[in-house]
Structures are given as structure tokens and as C-alpha cells.
Amino acid sequence: MAEKARAAGRRVVLANGCFDLLHVGHVRYLEEARALGDVLIVGVNGDAAVRRLKGPGRPLMPAAERAEILAALRAVDHVVVFDDDTADRLVALLRPAVHAKGTDYTAESVPERASVLAAGGRVAIAGDAEAALDAGRDRRDPGAIRAGSGRRFDDARSRVARRTSRW
């Protein structure tokens, strides 16, 4: 998918993360990441990687469901699930022009920075720092996590299925 996009003269952007509890900070991050190029590919850490990165009891949702939700977002062109703790191998395979990370990183602290530079790309920080800090907090109880609406968009499932893959 990345090779075809490059051959067509399109700029490929890669964003990645666990996306275990999707919130407005993630949406803003992905929208800004998409604005950095023509095609946004989102790498989603697999379940075992999320457990290693986030600890016991995680992920809250299986990778296939996280990928389906992300693929339904307007800004996202493709979603790929990967099982590593970092996206270094994904960066080497896709060779994005831009690797976007959220505001909890700096350009220097992005774990995949060396891989991105070696692949000829650049690192960019995208998103809304305030939304990321505020995400998931219930204003009545700052320690509580807010539950989602649980709405399901069955009419978009076939489109979403075409845009997700397992790597």
C-alpha cells in the first residue's frame, strides 16, 4: 500500500500507538497526522504488545476492534496491526515520508526516530496536548475513566474491513 502510494506521487504518513481507549486526543492527533501528507497509515500495537507496554488488564479492547474503530475515522486511510513494542520494523517496511507521534513525545524522544531517519523520513509531533492530558478523565471524579457510547456503525463495516490488515 505504501509503495503504490509513493509510486502515485503521494506522501505517506505513519502514526502508531496502542489506541486502547480512543479519545478526542487520539482523533486530533490522527487528523493532524493526516494533514502532514496524502495517505495516513495507522499502526496499532497488538494485544501482547499492549500488555507489555500498559500492564496487566490491558488491552481493554482486542486489536481487531481497535483497528476497526480507527479505520472508521475520516482521517485514516489504512490500519495495520503489528505485534512489536515499537514500530521500527513497520517503519522499515513502509518507509513513510513522515512518522507522526502524539504530544506525549518530543521529536527527540520518539522511539522509532533512528529508524525513521534511516528510512529517509522525518519525525513530526501532532495533536492537541491539552486534549491528550484531559482524555479519559471524568470531570466529576478525576480518577475515573469515562465509558464510551458503545454505538456501532454496521453500515461502514465492509469499508472498514477493506482498510485493515494484520502485519
Note the pLDDT of residue 164.
62
φ and ψ of 131, to 5 deg: -65, -40
* Sign of the alpha-carbon torsion through 68, 162, 127, 94: positive
End-to-end CA distance of the chain: 12
By the 8 A CB rule, do 86 and 110 touch? no
Note the pLDDT of residue 16.
98
- Closest by CA position to 1, among listed 85, 76, 72, 102: 76
Note the pLDDT of residue 125.
98
Note the pLDDT of residue 133.
53
Could you tell me how many residues make up the chain? 167
In this prediction, the residues of the chain whose per-residue pLDDT falls under 70 are 131-167
Note the pLDDT of residue 128.
85
